[in-house]
């Protein structure tokens, strides 16, 4: 059952339009809308915000600014960010105040009447400027091994370089949304499109001035999250909650796509300075890297993102002497935040780019350089932070994909094709992902689950997991089914809610299924034991005991000899079969609990931040990709002709869903490195704030020929079901699109080292080609 | 004259007449808020993501209703007179699903589900056509029909799989499910009546003949003509404009015609881009090729060629083509008709050579002569469905390896699309060599003045212009010495 590619539990709701999202909730009588007033400038001082005229607009119920809030600071790591600006404006469209009104029309009219006075300042918009002014949000502890200076001086070859990787908009289709319902007893129920209901609950409570226990945050599903709703859903939910408490009416805050894109944070832009030393074969001897991330206006999750980038700087490759330093800079842009990969993609990007350059320098195929430097199976298998890459399927993955994708043959064809000078250039590249699974903040690696068996033997299960398309609800339900022998139709995954599952971690770091299915398993195992005990009692009862009440199962009792399947329980030793509904009813009548709550913690992880050494990750999810692109030399536009992907996902829990994660992540990353360009002007105003101006891949952009394979019959001993986390790891394979473009350009670069930023927009590609003229 | 003060349409099985403020709502909002069909999603409010896609069919003159996918977030309700709308809820249910729904479930075509209703309706439109034509759906067709739907989760693989593995049979026809002779007739009749509605400061007019329209335009020179509303609705949604007096010609049947003459083709003002793509592929294959990447199917089902021309954007994709073919704008007022060469039609940024009482009724496009070689190019950040950085149109005729006729037009290099008459003239009679093209490239660069904006820098635009010129001559001459 559990290995079956059962469809997404909401698939039928999706395709018939019945799946409900926050803004689909019918309006209650008296419900109000909340409009957010954003700052027109990226930096300055808010001298005055005056709602007098706005309040005169018919339909406007109230307006609020910073001074009205009970508490005006939030942040996942440091509480440095205001919900509403008090005095200092830190980025364009930063929320200054809110209006609460009866109709959209009233809000639209009132918006124009809010009087704002600002003393404008010159914004700091680039990493360079921030460095010059020493505007830093966080400096990470260095990661190092060996002696990098010595290592660099050993090598016959050295390359110094600078790499710029721009940000990326999440472009979840459902923008930030929350509805708050005031309840009696000074309570609030908030429905939010958030990946982190617990933190959202806390921030709402603080903004309103209530104890956490008075606030319930509920999440049915998200119309996409990708990290964009890990921390940044909470402030909008808090503003809705605050408005609801003040007006004593339900309040709905739903951003438009344009508002969402200008107000909320994105993937961190990075600038990386590096120096690499290597030998004549292309073996990397030493690497010195300084990473500068653009954290934007506030800390948010920037420290953890920077650290993950530093952990992933090695990609799939062993680097004997290495020094990695990282700083997160403060600029006057939206506060950058979590986004699928969480710094990992930016880190691995660096080494994959460097390897292309080494190939170009030595006139060798970069794939050969990758094989040469790949982590070994028995030696050269310890990362620069001391974690062993074990088991290590990377060498096998590389050799398998190079052969299954016909790499050698195609490499020769491409060389020939590019010599023909027909206005088109082709490039080919093979890259890898070795993604560390676990939150690097250790305390987040815990979760809980609540399972109820009802008297008709159907089950409700609640966990802290958020369903945002990735199929975690389906996997939770599959877990229940597998252990209790049920069909998917017997299991209902309940909306995630802080009154059932408190102190949960965000659904993030690809860990949603590992943690929440882990907790679900523990709860279900306890129920299984209890039900098996009922069977045991029934089978071993002497007739005179009939009518006596059963006792709870003794500790030493195990359910091992009972098989739960097809709503029956079979004693494998005696062959006796019981019907599950009857056993459930028996358990109830015998006053045995049919509910279970369980807590799960990920064991075996730990990282010493002082010494910068340890085991931050439970395991690695690995994969490789080979991508071929074609570049139009007239316009600089590129397209992906073919991509081969090979992933090791252990023994996938749901191959259909997991394959969707792999392809979806890859295409999302393809957009990141090609067409998704964020255009800011010199005042820090973002001009790409809708799909008209911000181009995510559409159906025509996906690789024309896409071949995805999952390694078969692998087993991951680090998880209870042998599966591996899948949400983020394949995102890093999208880098192969960028390196393939770089590879294509190398055919025209003559003696130049290809210098390309990410994304490789048509313009950047054409301008780079022009440089070789 | 029969006139009515409300509009009539059906959504799924429900009949509705609207005569109040809801007329100005985008259909998506009407569905979500007024009739609680929240399956239809609103994401971008600008017709660029497809989450709000529904199927809309209007009765054709022969009484038949053809469903087309449209973006309901930019389709105001007042344009729905006589229409049948099918929403995701109307495509099928869990109990009685449509094959596209089944297939999307089986092929993991949905993840977060937010874009899914839009994909379902667009795919149902494709399926309807396949049933009608008894044809199967291959990946190319599927991708083409779904170009206007963005998905951020799946990478589209499951969706393409779903669309190419449909198990269709005639009983799945939505037309059969919803239409019957009496309903057809009711909708046809609604469309044959003029609509005139006054609401506070707003007036809405949908006349059924041109004279009526011209009278209205004369009486209210400030009346706003609305065709597909694919641009205007965006401005309204984003608060940059508001509907006041509006005049739609969509019920004027003659304006929906493409008239193929011996020397020219006349495209009526209500002719959609989709219609041109279907009906003019033999006359202007190069133009139709460009239209494939012009916009999404949803937009092309609504947007008109005349709308694109009158909207006068400096990066409008169709205008360079019309300039080099030397198309003529046909305008009409109560006082008479005028024909204006398109090169004289643009007076400045979004300023037209058009009198307040005049209406553009169509565009007359000369057919190409046999030795006229036409090329149209477009560069944009994303190939499909993106606003151009630079657009190019060129016509070249050669005789004895010399240029005998040359016409060049560019979009995206100034406040209007420009035709380079001065430059062209100088090169007539010149030898067709690499050197000539090199010089021409330099000269063209010297006569344009592009800006840097969010789509492209000035430098990139210069480079594109030069490259397009080279590509143009290379392609036509088959490589220059």
Q: CB–CB of B108 and A258 under 8 A?
A: no
Confidence band, pLDDT 50/70/90 cuts, at residue B133: very high
Tokens standing for residue B308:
């694109």
Q: Choose the closest CB to B113 out of A175, A223, A762.
A: A223
The model's pLDDT over B267-304, given as tens digits with 9 standing for 90+, comes to 999 999 999 999 999 999 999 999 998 899 999 999 99
Q: How many other CB atoms sit within 10 Å of the CB of residue B428?
A: 12
Those residues with Cβ within 8 angstroms of residue A422's Cβ, 6 or more apart along the chain or in another chain: none
Does the CB of A139 have a partner CB in chain B at under 8 Å?
A: no
Residues of chain A contacting residue B147, judged by C-beta atoms under 8 Å apart: 698-700
Shortest Cα distance from B74 to chain A (angstroms)? 14
Contact assessment for residue B232 and residue B241, using Cβ atoms and an 8 Å cutoff: yes
Shortest Cα distance from B406 to chain A (angstroms)? 21
Where is A554: in which H helix or E strand?
none
Does the CB of B465 have a partner CB in chain A at under 8 Å?
A: no
Task: Return d(Cα A610, Cα A618) in angstroms, integer.
Answer: 20
Does the CB of B156 have a partner CB in chain A at under 8 Å?
A: yes
As annotated, the active-site residues of A are 728
Strand-pairing partners, residue A103, are: none
Does the CB of B157 have a partner CB in chain A at under 8 Å?
A: yes
Beta-carbon pairs below 8 A across chains A and B: 241
Residues of chain B contacting residue A698, judged by C-beta atoms under 8 Å apart: 147, 149-150, 156, 382, 384-385
pLDDT value of position A2: 46
Does the CB of B334 have a partner CB in chain A at under 8 Å?
A: no
Those residues with Cβ within 8 angstroms of residue A773's Cβ, 6 or more apart along the chain or in another chain: none
Task: Return d(Cα A667, Cα A660) in angstroms, integer.
Answer: 11
Q: Choose the closest CB to A691 out of B44, B159, B464.
A: B44
pLDDT value of position B3: 81
Mutant choice from A645, A698, A734 vs B, greatest count of B C-beta within 10 A: A698
Task: Return d(Cα A356, Cα A743) in angstroms, integer.
Answer: 7
Task: Return d(Cα A637, Cα B294) in angstroms, integer.
Answer: 16
Q: CB–CB of B104 and A15 under 8 A?
A: yes
Q: CB–CB of B459 and A12 under 8 A?
A: no
pLDDT value of position A690: 96
Contact assessment for residue B54 and residue B99, using Cβ atoms and an 8 Å cutoff: no
Q: CB–CB of A664 and B150 under 8 A?
A: no
How many Å is the maximal CA-CA distance in chain A? 99
Residues of chain A contacting residue B466, judged by C-beta atoms under 8 Å apart: none
Does the CB of B454 have a partner CB in chain A at under 8 Å?
A: yes
Q: Is A591 helix (H, G, I), strand (E, B) or coil?
A: coil
Residues in chain B: 481
Task: Return d(Cα A622, Cα A352) in angstroms, integer.
Answer: 15
Assign 3-class secondary structure to chain B: CCEECCEEEEECCEEEEECCHHHHCEHHHHHHHHCCCCCCCCCCCCCCCCCCEEEEEEECCCCCEEEEEEEHHHCEHHHHCCEEEECHHHHCCCCCCCHHHHHHHHCCCCCCCCCHHHHHHHHHHHHHHHHHHCCCCCHHHHHHHCCCCCCCCCCCHHHHHHHHCCCCCHHHCHHHHHCCHHHHHHHHHHHCCEEEEEECCEEEEECCCHHHHHHHHHHCCCCEEECCCCCHHHHHHCCCCCCCEEEECCCCHHHHCEEECCCEEEEECCCEHHHHHHHCCCCCHHHHHHHHCCCCHHHHCCCEHHHHHHHCCCCCCCHHHHHHCCCEEEEEECCEEEEEEHHHCEEECCEECCCCCCEEEEEEEECCCCCCEEEEEEECCCCCCCCCCEEEEEEEEEECCEEEEEEEEEECCCCCCEECHHHHHHHCCCECCHHHHHHHHHHHHHCCCCCCCCCCCHHHHHHHHHHHHHHHHHHHHCCCC
Q: Choose the closest CB to B150 out of A24, A688, A691.
A: A691
Q: CB–CB of A699 and B49 under 8 A?
A: no
Does the CB of A161 have a partner CB in chain B at under 8 Å?
A: no
The model's pLDDT over B453-473, given as tens digits with 9 standing for 90+, comes to 889 999 999 999 999 999 999
The model's pLDDT over B33-64, given as tens digits with 9 standing for 90+, comes to 999 999 999 999 999 999 999 999 999 888 88
**Angle B463-B439-B423 from CA coordinates, rounded to 5°:** 90
Q: How many other CB atoms sit within 10 Å of the CB of residue B149?
A: 28
Q: Are strands A424-437 and B202-206 parallel, antiparallel or unpaired?
A: unpaired
406-465 of A, contacting B, C-beta below 8 A: 423
Does the CB of B381 have a partner CB in chain A at under 8 Å?
A: yes
Contact assessment for residue B372 and residue B405, using Cβ atoms and an 8 Å cutoff: yes
Q: What are the per-10-residue average pLDDT scores of chain A (773 residues)? A: 78 98 97 98 98 98 98 97 98 98 96 98 98 98 97 94 98 98 98 98 98 98 98 98 98 98 98 98 98 98 98 98 98 98 98 98 97 97 97 97 98 97 95 97 97 98 98 98 97 98 97 97 98 94 68 94 97 97 96 97 94 96 98 97 97 95 98 98 97 96 96 88 96 98 96 96 97 93
Q: Choose the closest CB to A766 out of B154, B380, B460.
A: B460
Q: Choose the closest CB to B467 out of A23, A634, A695.
A: A634
pLDDT value of position B387: 84
Task: Return d(Cα A450, Cα A452) in angstroms, integer.
Answer: 7
Q: CB–CB of B152 and A171 under 8 A?
A: yes
Those residues with Cβ within 8 angstroms of residue A233's Cβ, 6 or more apart along the chain or in another chain: A176, A178, A192, A193, A194, A195, A196, A200
Q: CB–CB of A693 and B454 under 8 A?
A: yes
Shortest Cα distance from B119 to chain A (angstroms)? 9
Does the CB of A14 have a partner CB in chain B at under 8 Å?
A: yes
Does the CB of B117 have a partner CB in chain A at under 8 Å?
A: yes
Does the CB of B470 have a partner CB in chain A at under 8 Å?
A: yes
Cis upstream peptide for B358 (omega within 30°): no
Task: Return d(Cα A525, Cα A529) in angstroms, integer.
Answer: 6
Burial of B10 (0-12, 13-18, 19+ CB in 10 A): buried
Does the CB of B384 have a partner CB in chain A at under 8 Å?
A: yes
pLDDT value of position B109: 98
Where is A36: in which H helix or E strand?
strand A32-38
Q: Is A464 helix (H, G, I), strand (E, B) or coil?
A: coil
Tokens standing for residue B191:
């469309």
pLDDT value of position B70: 98
Q: CB–CB of A173 and B471 under 8 A?
A: no
Nearest chain A residue to B383 by CA distance is A637
Shortest Cα distance from B214 to chain A (angstroms)? 33
Does the CB of A657 have a partner CB in chain B at under 8 Å?
A: yes
Task: Return d(Cα A281, Cα A278) in angstroms, integer.
Answer: 8
Shortest Cα distance from B212 to chain A (angstroms)? 33
How many Cα neighbours within 13 Å face the side chain of A528?
A: 27
Q: Is A395 helix (H, G, I), strand (E, B) or coil?
A: helix
Task: Return d(Cα B394, Cα B374) in angstroms, integer.
Answer: 6
Q: Choose the closest CB to B239 out of A108, A664, A675.
A: A108
Q: CB–CB of A762 and B152 under 8 A?
A: no
Q: Is A157 helix (H, G, I), strand (E, B) or coil?
A: strand
Q: Is the pLDDT of residue B243 over 80?
A: yes
DSSP state of A488: G
DSSP state of A694: S
Shortest Cα distance from A150 to chain B (angstroms)? 44
Nearest chain B residue to A691 by CA distance is B48
Shortest Cα distance from B164 to chain A (angstroms)? 14
pLDDT value of position A1: 40
Q: How many other CB atoms sit within 10 Å of the CB of residue B171?
A: 8
DSSP state of A505: P
Angle subtended by helix axes B157-164 and B99-106, to nearest 10: 140
Task: Return d(Cα B161, Cα B145) in angstroms, integer.
Answer: 14
Task: Return d(Cα A51, Cα B177) in angstroms, integer.
Answer: 53
pLDDT value of position A285: 97
Contact assessment for residue A85 and residue A72, using Cβ atoms and an 8 Å cutoff: no
User: Tell me, what's the ipTM?
Assistant: 0.97
Q: Choose the closest CB to B45 out of A12, A257, A700.
A: A257
């Amino acid at each position: 059952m559990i290995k079956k590619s059962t469809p997404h539990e909401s698939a039928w709701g999706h395709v018939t339009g019945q799946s409900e999202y926050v803004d689909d909730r019918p309006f209650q009588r008296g419900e109000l809308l909340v409009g957010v007033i954003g700052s027109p400038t990226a930096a300055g001082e808010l001298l005055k915000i005056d709602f007098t005229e706005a309040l005169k607009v018919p339909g406007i119920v109230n307006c609020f600014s910073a001074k009205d809030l009970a508490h005006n600071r939030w942040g996942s790591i440091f509480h440095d960010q205001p919900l509403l600006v008090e005095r200092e404006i830190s980025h364009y469209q930063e929320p200054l105040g809110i209006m609460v009104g009866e109709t959209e029309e009233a809000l639209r009219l009132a918006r124009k009447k809010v009087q704002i006075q600002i003393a404008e300042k010159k914004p700091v918009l680039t990493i360079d400027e921030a460095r010059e002014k020493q505007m830093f949000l966080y400096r990470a502890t260095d990661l190092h091994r060996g002696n990098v200076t010595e290592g660099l001086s050993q090598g016959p070859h050295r390359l110094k370089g600078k790499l710029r990787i721009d940000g990326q908009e999440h472009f979840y289709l459902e923008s930030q949304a929350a509805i708050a319902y005031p309840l009696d007893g000074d309570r609030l129920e908030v429905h939010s499109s958030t990946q982190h209901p617990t933190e959202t609950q806390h921030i709402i409570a603080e903004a309103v001035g209530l104890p956490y226990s008075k606030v319930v945050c509920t999440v049915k599903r998200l119309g996409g999250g990708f990290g964009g709703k890990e921390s940044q859903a909470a402030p909008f939910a808090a503003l809705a909650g605050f408005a609801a408490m003040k007006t004593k009416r339900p309040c709905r805050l739903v951003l438009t796509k344009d508002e969402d894109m200008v107000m909320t944070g994105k993937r961190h832009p990075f600038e990386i300075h590096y120096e690499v030393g290597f030998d004549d074969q292309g073996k990397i001897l030493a690497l010195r890297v300084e990473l500068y991330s653009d954290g934007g206006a506030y800390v948010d999750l920037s420290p953890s993102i920077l650290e993950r980038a530093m952990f992933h700087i090695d990609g799939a490759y062993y680097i004997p002497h290495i020094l990695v330093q990282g700083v997160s800079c403060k600029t006057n842009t939206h506060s950058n935040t979590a986004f699928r990969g969480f710094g990992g993609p930016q880190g691995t990007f660096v080494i994959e780019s460097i390897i292309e350059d080494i190939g170009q320098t030595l006139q060798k195929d970069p794939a050969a350089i990758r094989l040469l430097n790949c982590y070994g199976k028995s030696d050269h298998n310890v990362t620069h932070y001391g974690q062993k890459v074990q088991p290590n399927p990377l060498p096998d993955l590389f050799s398998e994909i190079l052969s299954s994708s016909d790499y050698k043959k195609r490499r020769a064809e491409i060389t020939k094709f590019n010599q023909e000078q027909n206005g088109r250039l082709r490039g080919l590249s093979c890259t890898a992902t070795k993604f560390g699974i676990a939150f690097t903040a250790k305390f987040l690696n815990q979760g809980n689950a609540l399972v109820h068996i009802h008297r008709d033997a159907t089950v409700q299960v609640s966990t802290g997991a958020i369903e945002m398309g990735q199929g975690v609800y389906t996997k939770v339900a599959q877990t229940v089914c597998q252990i209790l022998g049920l069909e998917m139709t017997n299991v209902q995954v309940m909306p995630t809610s802080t009154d059932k599952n408190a102190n949960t971690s965000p659904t993030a770091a690809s860990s949603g299924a590992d943690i929440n299915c882990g907790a679900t398993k523990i709860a279900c195992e306890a129920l299984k034991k209890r039900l098996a005990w009922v069977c045991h009692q029934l089978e071993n009862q002497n007739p005179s005991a009939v009518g006596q009440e059963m006792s709870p199962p003794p500790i030493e009792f195990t359910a091992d000899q009972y098989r739960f399947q097809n709503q029956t329980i079979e004693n494998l030793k005696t062959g006796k079969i019981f019907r599950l509904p009857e056993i459930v009813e028996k358990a109830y009548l015998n006053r045995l609990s049919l509910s279970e709550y369980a807590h799960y913690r990920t064991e075996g992880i730990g990282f010493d931040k002082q010494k910068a050494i340890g085991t931050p990750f439970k395991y690695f999810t690995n994969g490789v990709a080979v991508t071929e692109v074609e570049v139009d030399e007239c316009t600089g536009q590129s397209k992906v002709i073919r991509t081969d992907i090979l992933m090791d996902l252990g023994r996938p829990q749901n191959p259909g869903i997991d394959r969707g994660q792999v392809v979806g992540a890859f295409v999302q990353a393809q957009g990141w490195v090609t067409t998704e360009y964020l255009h800011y002007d010199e005042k820090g105003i973002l001009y790409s704030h809708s799909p008209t101006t911000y181009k995510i891949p559409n159906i025509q952009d996906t690789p024309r020929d896409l071949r995805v394979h999952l390694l078969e019959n692998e087993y991951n001993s680090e998880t209870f079901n042998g599966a591996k986390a899948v949400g983020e790891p394949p995102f890093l394979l999208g880098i192969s699109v960028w390196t393939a473009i770089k590879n294509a350009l190398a055919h025209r670069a003559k003696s130049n080292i290809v210098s390309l930023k990410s994304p490789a927009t048509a313009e950047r590609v054409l301008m780079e080609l022009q440089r070789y003229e | 004259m029969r006139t009515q003060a409300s509009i009539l349409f059906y959504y799924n099985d429900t009949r509705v007449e609207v005569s109040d403020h809801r007329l100005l709502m985008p259909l998506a909002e009407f569905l979500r808020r007024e009739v609680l069909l929240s399956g239809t999603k609103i994401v971008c409010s600008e017709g660029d993501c497809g989450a709000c896609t529904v199927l809309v069919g209007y009765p054709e003159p022969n009484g038949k209703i053809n469903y087309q996918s449209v973006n309901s977030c930019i389709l105001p309700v007042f344009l729905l007179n006589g229409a049948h709308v099918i929403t995701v809820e109307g495509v099928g249910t869990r109990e009685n699903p449509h094959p596209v729904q089944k297939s999307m479930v089986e092929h993991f075509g949905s993840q977060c589900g937010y874009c899914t209703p839009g994909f379902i309706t667009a795919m149902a439109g494709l399926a309807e056509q396949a049933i009608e034509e008894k044809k199967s759906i291959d990946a190319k067709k599927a991708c083409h029909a779904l170009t206007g739907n963005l998905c951020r989760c799946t990478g589209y693989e499951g969706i393409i799989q779903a669309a190419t593995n449909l198990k269709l049979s005639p009983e799945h026809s939505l037309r059969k499910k919803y239409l019957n002779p009496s309903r057809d007739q009711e909708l046809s009749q609604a469309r044959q009546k003029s609509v005139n509605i006054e609401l506070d400061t707003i007036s809405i007019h949908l006349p059924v003949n041109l004279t009526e329209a011209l009278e209205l335009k004369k009486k209210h020179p400030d009346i706003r003509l609305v065709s597909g509303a694919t641009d205007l609705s965006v401005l309204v949604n984003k608060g940059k404009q508001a509907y006041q007096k509006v005049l739609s010609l969509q019920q004027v049947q003659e304006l929906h015609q493409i008239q193929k003459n011996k020397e020219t083709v006349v495209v009526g003002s209500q002719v959609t881009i989709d219609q041109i793509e279907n009906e003019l592929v033999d006359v202007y294959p190069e133009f139709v090729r460009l239209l494939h990447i012009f916009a999404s199917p949803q937009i092309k089902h609504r947007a008109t060629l005349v709308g694109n021309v009158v909207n006068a954007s400096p990066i409008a994709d169709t205008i360079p083509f019309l300039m080099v073919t030397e198309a003529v704008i046909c305008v009409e007022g109560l006082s008479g008709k005028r024909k204006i060469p398109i090169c004289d039609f643009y007076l400045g940024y979004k300023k037209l050579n058009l009198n307040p009482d005049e209406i553009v009724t169509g565009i007359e496009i000369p057919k190409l002569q046999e030795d006229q070689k036409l090329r149209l190019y477009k560069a944009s950040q994303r190939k499909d469905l993106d606003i151009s950085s630079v657009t190019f149109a060129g016509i070249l005729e050669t005789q004895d390896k010399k240029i005998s006729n040359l016409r060049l037009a560019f979009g995206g290099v100034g406040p209007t699309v420009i035709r380079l008459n001065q430059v062209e003239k100088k090169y007539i009679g010149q030898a067709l060599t690499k050197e000539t093209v090199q010089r021409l490239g330099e000269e063209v660069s010297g006569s344009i003045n592009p800006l840097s904006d969010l789509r492209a820098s000035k430098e990139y635009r210069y480079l594109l212009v030069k490259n397009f010129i080279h590509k143009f001559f290379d392609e036509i001459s088959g490589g220059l010495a």
